[in-house]
Amino acid sequence: MAFGFNSRSAGHRPTSDKSRGERSIAARRAFTVVELLVVIAVIAVVCALILPAVQRAREAARRVACKNNLHQLGVALNAYHDARQCLPSGWILETPVAGNSQNGWGWLAMLLPSMDQGPLFNSINFNHRVENASNETARLSVVTAFLCPSDHVPARVPFFRKGFGPSPSAASLQRAANTVSAGGIMFEVAGASYLGVFGTSDPDDRPDVRGDGVFAHNSAVRFADLIDGSSQTLIVGERSARRLAGTWTGMHPEEDEGPERIVGFAEHSPNHADADEAEFSSRHPCGVNFLFGDGSVRFLSDDMDRLVYQALCTRAGGETISRTEF
């Protein structure tokens, strides 16, 4: 008997050309490792090109928002001046505390009613200093209009007792870490990005705490006192919290930085690497936004001439400055 092998009886079917073609197409549809790496590299290049542009667009928007904040401060300062015939004091400090003393509260606090912050203003007990328990809720209230969108201002800014202020040295960082238990932190306040212009000298170097700018201790400067011209006098500027956090609330005479929490000065050009921590600075690339006495807001470059910059920070220095110089 002859035995033959029947492929059909064994359950095997010859592979058709159609099935082979389907497998071939499926194989061609899959990515190889090289192709996958090329795709990833292309995506990385596209992201590298797009992300800086997106960041620049975001920063441009934040800078515009910052300028708008300063413009609103200019409007509020004009309203205050119209009502009282002078600009608010940098800070009012009376010892002992007298009736309606506004003891230690600063110029930004006086602008709250004009910044749509009437309830916050009314909650402040101006007969007591900033740290008084009756003012705890007010002093910790964050006002968005007082913050630069590009900066990272802490919600709560510690006020350090003199001799306990943090400094860059490694030894003092450990000391600062222990200040709470040692009584170094007196109290906390809400932060702010905008400081009044004290002038060209550090308030700590002036025993009378009066500068050649617009805002100082118990000051009452009028627009008529801007002898250099309102369009050539800086009255408010930015300071980044990475150097020294400011506040809208006020100052305390025993605080390590004292007046520098609400006013700044100009010894170096804006954002200068060697500038004191209480000078003006920002996180905007290449410059700082400032409010002029005429209500205009301009972006002053880091590279501007130092003497021109200092002349702009005085209210009656007698300097003659061309607008092309800043």
Q: Which amino acid is at 306?
A: R
**Alpha carbons 295 and 230: distance in angstroms, whole number:** 8
CB 286 within 8 A of CB 56: no
319 near 311, Cβ under 8 Å?
Answer: yes
pLDDT (0 to 100) of residue 324? 74
The per-residue pLDDT for 175 is: 43
Domain ranges of the chain: 58-325
Can you give the pLDDT of all 326 residues of the chain as single tens digits?
454 545 444 455 555 555 555 555 555 566 687 777 877 888 887 777 776 766 677 888 999 999 999 999 999 999 999 999 999 999 998 877 666 678 899 999 999 999 999 999 999 999 889 999 999 999 999 999 999 999 999 989 999 988 776 554 433 444 444 444 445 899 999 999 999 999 999 998 887 888 999 999 999 999 999 999 999 999 999 999 998 999 999 999 889 888 999 999 999 999 999 999 999 999 999 999 999 999 999 999 999 999 999 999 999 988 878 777 77
Residue 184 amino acid letter: G
Question: What pLDDT, on a 0 to 100 scale, did the predictor assign at position 62?
Answer: 92
Cβ contacts of 316 within 8 Å, gap of 6 or more? 212, 225, 226, 227, 228
Residue with tokens 């600075």: 281
Q: What is the pTM of this model?
A: 0.79
For the beta sheet containing 287-292, the strands, ordered from the edge strand earlier in sequence to the opposite edge, are: 263-265, 194-199, 234-238, 287-292, 297-301
Task: Look at the block and give the residue holding tokens 């209500």.
Answer: 295
Report pLDDT for 43: 83
Q: What is the pLDDT of residue 238?
A: 97
Please tell me the predicted confidence (pLDDT) of residue 33: 76
